[in-house]
């Protein structure tokens, strides 16, 4: 039997980048401590915060809901509100909605459900058909879904009166994003990624990512070890994502250098800080000419997608 590094109990997991076997109790403890350290390192939470958490029903958001509802007790008069976005993906969202509802109820967390249809006039599946019919071709589903879901989560957070939006992006997601931005040669993007929540615009709710330094496999283990149910079925559109290729590439490299994800994310954060110091001087934030949301260009990506799809009455839907 392999013993825990910290006590005499049997180890249940050994982190490949640390080589310290951990028993169940010490795994849980170090999992929570890492999230605490991430929150304090990037000044993610303050007393009086009203935090909306994007709760999809997948492993990351379910575990984040449980961990944040525990940790936020240390922040006096703070409040956690779960928001779920129904993108309109048939045969997939129904199960995760049920799971999300159950977890929020169990923890006594207020829960609000919003949909793409409500915000943008169409659900994702319908929008993809519209785009195909109009253009005879379209990008991968995630390219549209990612843009619209970001906005939908922001809109949901505004509607519930939150001053912060917590998303469950984990270390693997963050490292993949850093690498993807590099492979696309998109340096400007680093400057737009905030690690500390900053108020930029009244229509933009600052984001926090308490799991940004937590590896994905540990989130799965936390869910399993603590009996937290989550949706295991992948989204039917997931195969269309570029991310899968990047994930596989990183996975291969991790076998040689298990700490590489931490290095990538740390470099992304440092680069972001450097670029932001410049940008603050050189490039003030613009507002989208159509919907007024903050954007890097003249028209935001959401309006560009909706314009492509011929959703002409979206302005009223977003603004009301
Ligand atoms: Fe949206 Fe793609 Fe995620 Fe499916 S896999 S929910 S389409 S981003
Ligand atoms: Zn816009």
| DSSP conformation class of 160 | T
* Domain ranges in the chain with CATH number 3.40.50.620: 28-283
Q: Give the residue-averaged pLDDT of 34-55.
A: 96
Q: Name the closest ligand to CA 239.
A: 1
Please indicate whether residue 301, judged by its CB atom, sits closer than 6 Å to ligand 1. no
Q: Name the closest ligand to CA 301.
A: 2
| Residue range 116-146, pLDDT digits in tens | 999 999 999 999 999 988 877 788 899 899 9
- pLDDT at residue 312, as a whole number: 52
Helix crossing, 59-71 with 216-225: angle to 10°?
70
Average pLDDT, the chain: 91
Query: Is the whole model's pTM more than 0.95, yes or no?
Result: no
Closest CA to 139 of 318, 297, 304: 304
* pLDDT at residue 91 is higher than 80: yes
Please indicate whether residue 140, judged by its CB atom, sits closer than 6 Å to ligand 1. no
- Which tops the pLDDT comparison, 284 or 211? 211
Please indicate whether residue 145, judged by its CB atom, sits closer than 6 Å to ligand 1. yes
* CATH architecture for the domain at 28-283: 3-Layer(aba) Sandwich (3.40)
């Amino acid at each position: 039997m392999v013993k825990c590094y910290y006590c005499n109990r049997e180890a249940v997991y050994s982190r490949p980048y640390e080589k310290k076997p951990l028993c169940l109790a010490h795994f849980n403890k170090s999992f929570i401590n890492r999230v605490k350290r991430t929150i304090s390192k990037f000044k993610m939470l303050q007393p009086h915060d009203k935090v909306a958490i994007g709760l999809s029903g997948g492993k990351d958001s379910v575990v984040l809901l449980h961990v944040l509802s525990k940790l936020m007790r240390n922040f006096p008069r703070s409040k956690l509100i779960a928001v779920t976005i129904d993108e309109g993906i048939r045969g997939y969202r129904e199960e995760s909605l049920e799971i999300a509802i159950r977890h929020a109820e169990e923890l006594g967390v207020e829960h609000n459900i919003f949909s793409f249809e409500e915000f943008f006039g169409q659900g994702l599946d319908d929008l993809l058909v519209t785009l195909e019919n109009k253009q005879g071709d379209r990008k991968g589903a995630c390219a549209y879904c990612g843009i619209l879901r970001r906005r939908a989560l922001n809109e949901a957070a505004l509607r519930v009166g939150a001053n912060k939006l917590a998303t469950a992006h984990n270390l693997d997601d963050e490292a993949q994003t850093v690498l993807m931005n590099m492979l696309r040669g998109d340096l400007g993007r680093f400057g737009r990624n905030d690690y500390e929540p900053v108020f930029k615009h009244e229509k933009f709710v600052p984001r926090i990512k308490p799991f940004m330094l937590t590896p994905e496999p540990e989130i799965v283990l936390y869910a399993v070890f603590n009996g937290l149910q989550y949706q295991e079925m992948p989204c039917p559109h997931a195969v269309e994502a570029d991310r899968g290729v990047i994930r596989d590439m990183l996975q291969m490299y991790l076998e040689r250098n298990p700490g590489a994800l931490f290095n990538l994310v740390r470099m992304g954060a440092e680069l972001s800080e450097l670029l932001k110091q410049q940008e603050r001087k050189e490039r003030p934030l613009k507002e989208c000419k159509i919907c007024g949301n903050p954007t890097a260009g003249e028209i935001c990506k959401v309006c560009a997608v909706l314009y492509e799809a011929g959703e002409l009455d979206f302005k009223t839907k977003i603004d009301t």
